[in-house]
Structure 1
Amino acid sequence: MPASLPILVGAGLVSLFVAWAIGAGSSGSTPFAPAVGADSITIFHAVVLAGIISFVGAVLQGGAITETVGTGLVDGVSPTPLLGFLSLATAGTFVAFGVVTGYPISTAFSVSGAVTGAGVALGGAVNWEVYRTILLTWTLAPFAVGLIAYLTAEALWHFEEPNSLPVLSAVLGALLPHLRLGFLGDGGASMAAVAPTPAGSPVSGGVLLTVGLALALAALVRYDSTHHPERSEDRFLIALGCLVAFSAGGSQVAFAIGPLLPLLDGSIPLRWVLAGGGLGLVAGTWTGAPRMIRAMGTEYADLGTYRSIAALLPAFVLTQGAVLFGIPISFTQAIVSAISGSGYVAGMASVSERKLGWTAVGWVGSFVGAFAVGFAAFTLVG
């Protein structure tokens, strides 16, 4: 049903608040936290870069997960203005609490819990077909990402320079053409999918683009590693942080605008809604992210440059996989698991297991608590 103007305005303001909280506690802090921990970039420069690049990611990739968050979690009900307002208000409160306390409360868990709790109170049923995929991803992702980060850090530790970074850059170059972009195709496609095949070529345009970009990046990084070894590692880490910031914006903005989008009923183009959410991410990153960057970059594990690279790579791959399939993923969970996995290369003493334990409690508690509060709020008010 159409939203009344006061409810719509209120939901829009709460949506901006959630976007601010996400920028301060997730998309703004996690991409460059390992680089700050490795002393490759200052907190000020990390905050500026994260804000700008996460905005670009929100606009170009943010639509992929929005539908799942807005309408895919609960069956049997139609979204209402009050449902969207209460869901966003509940989730934003949980995420903001994490920003204030220094513990990264998961936006994905908070928003999903709040939307589901309020939807069940409205009379709907949990969409278990969607939730089975989500819960499986949330459960397995920390172990998979942590293991890949650990193995990558071990390989970088023993692999002679100047070969290690070019190999990783080739992997990234092969992945980049396959990122889902909202302005390509019908509702989103990758550059590899739309790349034209040259006339008479036995190889598709997508394959040529993938191989060409992989070789070009490998050659560029090899040159940099050979001629500027003292700075090449830092530059690679910062570039990887930019890719992660882009992914963070694309995957996390949906949690700010997903519950709001059904209320607009197509009256505002999705790209403009994504841009509004992206501006909220920028505001949160520039005003609230330094505290979380400091916490995540130094308190979870003692990271060097190589271990930081090993932490960001699997987080980037996991996030882009979630965007590709429209799965609401906990970006904070992914990056914390990756940081911890790479940190274990230096030994158990370099990883704060107490901090990890309380963070895991916060993840589970945020979903359960947001569900309970969302259910209670809609029951009382609705």
Structure 2
Amino acid sequence: MVELLLVVGVLISMFVAYNIGGSTTGPAFGPAVGSDAISKTAAAALMGVFFFLGAWTIGRNVVTKLGSELVTNPGIFTLESSIAVLFFIGIALFVGNVFGVPASTSMTAVGAIAGLALAGGVLDFAVMGEIVIWWGVSPIIGFWVALIIGRYFYARLNRLVAIDRSSGPLLVVDRSGAIPVPRLHETTNRKELGGTVTVIAIGCLMAFSSGTSNIANAVAPLVGSGELAMNPAIILGGVAVAIGAFTIARRTLDTMGSDITELPLTAAIVVASISSTLVVFLSVLGIPASFVIIATVSIIGLGWGRATRTVTLPDAVRDDKTPPVTVDALAADEAGEPVPPIGEEDADRIPQGGELFDPATTARVVLMQNVVPAIATVGAYLTFRYVPVFGF
């Protein structure tokens, strides 16, 4: 019977990881696929490799935090309770998908485990408080970094990384010598190569950061129960993520259905870089981070910074003392249009903070980001508290 429950637990764990692979490949490699810098198959392969690297190196810190440190008695993770926790994670994420909102897998997993721990009276409130504090601080950091970049550096970055694809392939293989050597195609310029490498590298960084944080959401309950060792759990989770990347992720890569990949390429790179760096930093501390929330708030910061960018220093010291200006952030920079004076912008093109975010959509995302983990927390607590089979 125990062996059957373990098989069921492993299958549910891999199903959660499978969905993680399907939902995170699009945001990670959507810009690269959308700009024809990489194929869907190559994106899936890179996703699998870099997710596993992140999980194997830093991700075990987060697995330990959720599987043992968040509870004062890891014995509460029986096979039955671990399967139930994974079930609540899956159901809560399904609710988010129904409403079209990319739910935070990390917050949902922490909520489900916290519900279990509360029901059993073994929740470590100090560790939970540490996690919640970082959940509040990290989006604020992302917001201000994105705002500063948007206000002062975005235009220069856009000129550096913008990709104007040539008609031919990026690289060709020179077989004239004894050893085949890849070389730039005659139609490829170095700026195109640099932009392509940059957007692929950012995708790899996002995949790595996803592995550092999200692997715990799929395997921490089973590792905490002691029924599955850390290394086999990470390998199984990594395999399931790769399967998801090669299968259901192809649809997300087609539609680019996330807040990150709907952005212009330069903005997507900025937001992804900020979010991934913060997620990796938190994972080193063992904190399960919400990439989606950090990215959403960073989008708002970038949009706000671009929409409120003021006149540059050379303009400020002109003799005619013209008023300072604000820019229709991304549109003016990318289209090469002149900067309009304050009060003369096209109102339709600057909807409350620039073209990077819509207030109604943002409110819906923020609301669901809190509702989905709450569903997991309350559902887990009520089940473990009042269903006799769990014995709490």
TM interval, shorter chain, is 0.7 to 0.9
In structure 2, the residue matched to 1:356 is 362
Query: Relative to total residues, which structure has the larger helix share, 1 or 2?
Result: 1
In structure 2, the residue matched to 1:51 is 48
Give the Cα–Cα distance (whole angstroms) in 2 for the partners of residues 94 and 296 of structure 1.
22
In structure 1, the residue matched to 2:145 is 148
Asked whether 1:307 is paired with 2:305, we answer no
- Contact 1:25–1:99 (Cα < 8 Å) also in 2: no
Letter in 2 for 1:326: G
Q: 1:48 to 1:341 in 2, by over 3 A?
A: farther
Residue 127 of structure 1 and its aligned partner are, at CA, apart by 1.6
Letter in 2 for 1:238: I
Please list the CA deviations of residues 71-120 of structure 1 after superposition, one character each: whole Å capped at 9, or x if unmatched.
Answer: 22233562222221111111022223434553211111111111111222
Give the Cα–Cα distance (whole angstroms) in 2 for the partners of residues 336 and 36 of structure 1.
21
Give the Cα–Cα distance (whole angstroms) in 1 for the partners of residues 157 and 285 of structure 2.
36
Could you tell me which of 288, 292, 295 is aligned with 1:335?
Answer: 295
Letter in 1 for 2:110: S
Give the Cα–Cα distance (whole angstroms) in 1 for the partners of residues 35 and 98 of structure 2.
24
Q: Aligned residues, how many?
A: 315
Asked whether 1:259 is paired with 2:221, we answer yes
Give the alignment's TM-score, normalised by structure 1: 0.73
Quote the sequence identity (%): 27
Q: Residue 258 of structure 1: SS of its match in structure 2?
A: helix
Asked whether 1:322 is paired with 2:328, we answer no
- Contact 1:104–1:292 (Cα < 8 Å) also in 2: no
Larger radius of gyration: 2
Question: What are the within-5 Å matches in structure 2 for residues 266-305 of structure 1?
Answer: 269-293=229-253, 303-305=263-265
Q: Residue 328 of structure 1: SS of its match in structure 2?
A: coil
In structure 2, the residue matched to 1:127 is 124
Letter in 1 for 2:139: P
Q: 1:273 to 1:76 in 2, by over 3 A?
A: closer
Give the Cα–Cα distance (whole angstroms) in 1 for the partners of residues 121 and 293 of structure 2.
28
In structure 2, the residue matched to 1:4 is 2
In structure 2, the residue matched to 1:242 is 204
Asked whether 1:29 is paired with 2:26, we answer yes
Asked whether 1:228 is paired with 2:225, we answer no
Could you tell me which of 11, 14, 35 is aligned with 1:13?
Answer: 11
Give the Cα–Cα distance (whole angstroms) in 2 for the partners of residues 161 and 33 of structure 1.
18
- Contact 2:115–2:377 (Cα < 8 Å) also in 1: yes
Question: What are the within-5 Å matches in structure 2 for residues 85-124 of structure 1?
Answer: 85-99=83-97, 101-121=99-119, 123-124=120-121
Q: 1:94 to 1:287 in 2, by over 3 A?
A: farther
Letter in 2 for 1:255: N
- Contact 2:50–2:204 (Cα < 8 Å) also in 1: yes
Please list the CA deviations of residues 51-80 of structure 1 after superposition, one character each: whole Å capped at 9, or x if unmatched.
Answer: 332133223332111011112223356222
Q: Which runs of 5+ in 2 are unaligned?
A: 162-187, 307-329, 331-349
Please list the CA deviations of residues 185-229 of structure 1 after superposition, one character each: whole Å capped at 9, or x if unmatched.
Answer: xxxxxxxxxxxxxxxxxxxxxxxxxxxxxxxxxxxxxxxxx9611
Letter in 2 for 1:133: E
Q: Which runs of 5+ in 1 are unaligned?
A: 166-225
- Contact 1:300–1:351 (Cα < 8 Å) also in 2: no
Give the Cα–Cα distance (whole angstroms) in 1 for the partners of residues 27 and 240 of structure 2.
17
Q: Residue 251 of structure 1: SS of its match in structure 2?
A: helix
Residue 363 of structure 1 and its aligned partner are, at CA, apart by 1.2
Please report the RMSD computed on the Cα atoms of aligned residues, expressed in angstroms. Answer: 2.9
Give the Cα–Cα distance (whole angstroms) in 1 for the partners of residues 69 and 284 of structure 2.
16
